[in-house]
Structure 1
Amino acid sequence: MKLHIFNDPTQLGQSSGSLAAEHIKQAIQSKGQANIILATGTSQFETLNQLIQEKDIDWSKVVLFHLDEYIGLKDSHPASFRKYLKERFIQLVPALKSVNLINGEEDALAECQRLNSIILHHPIDVALVGIGENGHLAFNDPPANFETKDPYIVVQLDEACRKQQMGEGWFPSMEDVPQQAISMSIQHIMASKKIICSVPDYRKAEAVKNCLENEVSPWYPASILQKHGDCSMFLDQQSAELLSANFKKQAYNA
């Protein structure tokens, strides 16, 4: 894992977004298209903002998937990740080769099967991810399923995850936060050629420490990133606050 620590979320996003663009262009050059995964949520604001400003990306050769979506939430809801991606990315770049959004409004298992049949033919070149306050990767809350090979699965959202979603202002109350979601599985995220993990904010500091300094464990889902062959972790000073001094010395940027 390559660790990068920046002064603030803006610098973090500029660097992570530029790196994502570099790998997308490399994939297009080497095989004619790039298959990418985008994450959502507040942690991705600056990264996506940088990515849409990058030059010389032939978006007509990019196939898009995303990490997760709530079950039972309309895409007009402020918390919908489909709405998020449309407004913060899809509508701001030229037309992509294809967009594969998760629809959790009806039969969730059938939607998983539909998406799985598509994504299995599109090995992921670049995955943009984050880490939740409870250490989750996508919506794989602890203890996460490290074993399933299915690309998309139905998951239960734990209380800590649901509190985070409410705390970030996406829902007015806990009762409004869905209890289930469709999530990309841990194994399929790990199958990505390149993973770029962007994690700003002190709210994530404990999760960052647990996932980077502890042994890999389903109780710290994002700890699995330690085992990936090409993962770049982007933190700001606040999210890196609780890391040990020795661990911070590994950082490529300060």
Structure 2
Amino acid sequence: MSTTGTQPRVEVFPDREALGRAAGDDIAAELRRRLARQDGVRMILAAAPSQLETLERLRTAEGVDWSRVTAFHMDEYVGLPPNAPQRFGNWLKGALFDHVPLGNVHLLDPGSDPAEALRQYADELAAAPIDVVVLGIGVNGHLAFNDPPDADLADPQPVRVVELAEASRRQQVDDECFARVEDVPRTAVTLTVPRLLDAGRLFCVVPGAAKAAAVRSAVTDPIGPDCPATALRRHPDCTLYLDKESAAHVG
């Protein structure tokens, strides 16, 4: 699988704080624009420390009628207890969901029957179009938990159970979410690449030197599973927000 695609818009900022302010402002502007012409907005959000500055800015945005916004998130570990702070749903509560009066929040919870939970979540996602996705890129080029080299960029399923790559598990330790790689679950549930791309607009927030190689691959490598983030080039309305460190290898 190899096509050149179209390049996302790339914006580079001096540091992650400036990046977060700009991305948060742009996301808020998109929410206001859509809410001005439609009854509600449905959005999917990533949960990771790389997203924190953006979500902090977003939650203080003025003029967003959050009561007409429905939020989803894109991945979750299998096997962690419901109150574990490492669960992505819990992280997003602390970063955004508990700070704004959202109309609806759909948490991706594998529970004791991941297959049934995924079916229900897929139905909720499919109930109406997704307007906005706020996502990042992993150190190995993953989108959500679609890891190389096994990510299916044409996956017919909207949500699936996956085994996490070692690089993705290591990233959770480097991000100080877990103390040891051994503590990171080996299995997760994730929205698939086609499900993420089936949205009106993508805001891809990627700060930090650790992401520089993945960013370079995302914008220059052939589109394919060796770097799932290359699939962003299949979307007609994607903006990539970088700081000087993550943009180090981008011409």
Name the TM-score, length of structure 2 as normaliser.
0.94
What whole-Å deviation, never above 9, does each CA across 1:181-230 have from its counterpart, x for those lacking one? 11011001111100000000000001111111111111100110011100
Quick one: which amino acid aligns to residue 33 of structure 2? Q
Residue deviations 1:9-48 (CA, integer Å, cap 9, x gap): 0110111111111111122222210000111111101110
SS in 1 for 2:178: coil
Cα deviation, residue 104, structure 1: 2.2
Structure 1 counterpart of 2:123: 117
Q: Determine if the alignment matches structure 1 residue 92 to structure 2 residue 106.
A: no
Q: Does 1:130 align with 2:136?
A: yes
Which runs of structure 1 show a deviation greater than 3 angstroms over 4 or more consecutive aligned residues? none
Structure 2 CA distance for aligned equivalents of residues 74 and 48 of structure 1? 25
How is 1:19-34 mapped onto 2 (pairs within 5 angstroms)?
A: 19-34=26-41
Listed as ranges, the gaps of 5+ residues in structure 2 are 1-7
What's 1:250 paired with? Answer: none
Matches within 5 A, 1:1-254: 1-94=8-101, 96-143=102-149, 144-243=151-250, 247=251
Q: Any idea what SS the aligned residue of 1:183 has?
A: strand
- The aligned amino acid for 1:184 is L
CA distance in 2, matches of 1:16, 1:84: 19
Contact 1:75 / 1:81 at 8 angstroms: preserved in 2?
Answer: no
| Whole-angstrom CA distance in 2 between matches of 1:160 and 1:27 | 37
Partner SS state of residue 89, structure 1: helix
Q: 1:179 to 1:209 in 2, by over 3 A?
A: same
How far off is 1:78 after superposition? 2.2
Distance (Å, rounded) in 2 between the aligned partners of 1:4 and 1:119: 29
TM-score (norm 1): 0.93
CA contact (8 A) 1:205 1:238 kept: yes
Checking the alignment, whether the CA contact within 8 Å between 1:73 and 1:105 is kept in structure 2 is no
Give per-residue Cα distances to partners, 1:67-120, cap 9 Å, x unaligned.
Answer: 1000111232121111101111111112x1211001123211111001011110
Letter of the 2:68 counterpart: K
User: What's the secondary structure of 1:35's corresponding residue?
Assistant: strand
Structure-1 residue corresponding to 2:4: none
Is contact 2:111–2:117 with CA below 8 Å preserved after alignment?
A: no
Alpha-carbon offset, residue 60 of structure 1: 0.6
Distance 2:117 2:57 in 1: 31
- SS state at 1:148 partner: coil
**CA-CA distance at 1:149 after TM superposition:** 2.8
Query: How far apart, CA to CA, are the structure 1 residues paired with 2:237 and 2:199?
Result: 9
Task: Give the alignment's Cα RMSD to 1 decimal.
Answer: 1.0
Q: Measure the CA separation in 1 of the matches of 2:82 and 2:90.
A: 6
Q: SS in structure 1 opposite 2:177?
A: coil
User: Which letter does structure 2 place at the counterpart of 1:106?
Assistant: S
